[in-house]
Each structure stands twice: as structure tokens, then as C-alpha cells.
Amino acid sequence: MKKKRVIVTRRDFIRGSAGAALGAALLGPAWLKAEAKAAGGQRSLVVIVRDAKAMDANLSVDKQAVASMLEQALAQVTGKADARAAWLSLVKPTDIVGLVPTPHLNPTHDQLIEVVRESLVAAGVPSGHIVHAQGRDVDLAPITALICLPALKAHWLTGIGTVIKNYILYSGAPRNYHHQDSAKLGEIWNLPQVKGKTRLVLVDALHPLCDKGPQPDPRYKWAYNGLIASLDPVAVDAVGLKIISAKREALRGEPWPISPPPICIEAADKVYKLGNSDPAKIDIKVFGWKENLLV
């Protein structure tokens, strides 16, 4: 399948108001030091795979189409020949693999969770080693690998409620992370029971929500029919934000900034060192359906 390679430029990303808000929320030596070290670093790859037939007119998901999309996303993110080789470059059969979907209010589609599980089993991970790992009561101690599986959505408390927010229940105190426009969400990814365990970020962008989240509002949901994958959680959120922002502008016919500004993305990069938020350091590869791509 012919691919399209896109390099996101700094002008493409909404940084001004978000960056100012982040500085205000996290003002102090740590922030200033992080800002000073912002230059340099490795590039991040984000893969978008779309299929116009992934959902029908009634929004029913075609599981076979999603399975094919997953296989392509895995191969492209890892550079491996097929899904089996891709998974085995990310996890071992001895790993206890935790799947972390969005649990409710615009949840991750069951069909995607199922194909991820089936694909892992086909790669040689025993089914008993694959567990549901979303929730505040999950025991993370025995889990050695996490697959982050959020749904793409805007959120009235965090701006965007996709990747970085997906582990909020692991904090044990979600309310504490909704202060300062949720700038400290990235801190959760560095908790001892979480840090270093995420092997893949795979965003369900089949039917995203661009406003009023997390409560589903059909006025702001649309059939994007995509999966977004990366090894970099921050870069995925940055690209997801770009898609949501472009959809908002298309709906209004003019700029329609997200409120509150999604400063958790830049903070995850500059303060918590989880990945790249800088669009100049993010490469996007697109496969499949190109209509209304929004990147």
C-alpha cells in the first residue's frame, strides 16, 4: 500500500497559549532547566493507518479491517516484517502484558481490544499472560509490559484526554491531577509501578470526539476510521491534538482553540521527559484512506 510521509512543522502545532500556560503552571527551576534543554534529542515516529471501511454507516466496526490496520501499524512502528515479529520486538512470551483501554465515556472499541489480544496470542504470548490493566485497583506489580490503548477525544478538564491522561487511575488520586490545567499528568508515567513498562501506544481513532469530552456528544464525533501508533506517548498525543484541532476548525470554519489548553502534552516532554511534543521532531507516516486526514 502506498504510504504518505508527512513532517509536521512548528507552525502546524498550537504552542503559543499552551506553552505560556505551562510555564505559569510549572514555574520554577525545574521548568526553566527543562526549557533550556529542549533543543536536541531524537526524532519520533507516529504512524496513522486508516480504512474507509473500518466502520459502516451505522458505526459498526469491521473487526477484520481493524486487524489489518493493526498489523500494518505494528510493522511500520517497529520496522519488522509482520505483526508477530513486531510484537516480539516489543514484548516477550514471558511478559505479563497489561492492556490499558479507555474504560468508559467514549471508550476504546471492544473490537480493537480483541484484535490486539488475538494478535499477541498469535505472536506467542500466552492468553493467560494478557490482562486487563485499566483502573485504580489494578495491581501493577506483576505486570511487566503495558499496551496503552486510549480512544482519541477532547476533554473538558485536560484539553485532550487521550494518551498521557490514560494512566490517571494509576495515581490513586485522580483529582490531584486536575489542578493547574492537568499539567502534572506526565508525573504518573514516572511512578515506580508504571515507569518503563509501556511498550506501545495505540490510539483508537475510529470515532473520535473533538469537543465536550469525555461525555459523548454526537455533534462532535466523526468517523475518522483510523489507528494512531507510536513508541512515543507524547508524540502520539501531539498528533492526536493536531487532528482534533483541525476538525474543530473545519466544523467552525475558523480557529476554535481547545479549552483548557492541553498543556499536559508539552509538560510530558519538557518536565517529565516522556517523549517529543515538538512537531519539528515528529515524523508522521500515513497509510490507507487519505480523505479528511487532518494532518
- 19-51 pLDDT, tens digit per residue, is 444 544 443 433 333 333 444 469 999 999 999
Q: List pLDDT tens digits, range 149-168.
A: 999 999 988 899 999 999 99
Q: List pLDDT tens digits, range 221-261.
A: 999 999 999 999 999 999 999 999 999 999 999 999 998 89
Supply the pLDDT for residue 215: 87
For cell 471492544, name the residue: 110
Q: Mean pLDDT check: name the lowest of 69-73, 85-89, 209-213, 250-254.
A: 209-213
pLDDT mean over 120-130: 98
Confidence of residue 210 (pLDDT cuts 50, 70, 90): very high
Supply the pLDDT for residue 58: 96
DSSP strands (E only) in the chain: 3-7, 44-50, 97-101, 130-132, 145-149, 151-155, 159-160, 198-209, 226-230, 282-288
In the predicted structure, residue 82 carries a pLDDT above the cut 90: yes
Supply the pLDDT for residue 86: 98
Instruction: At 193, list the grid cell.
Output: 509501578
The pTM of this model reads 0.88
* Partners of 132 in the β-ladder: 99
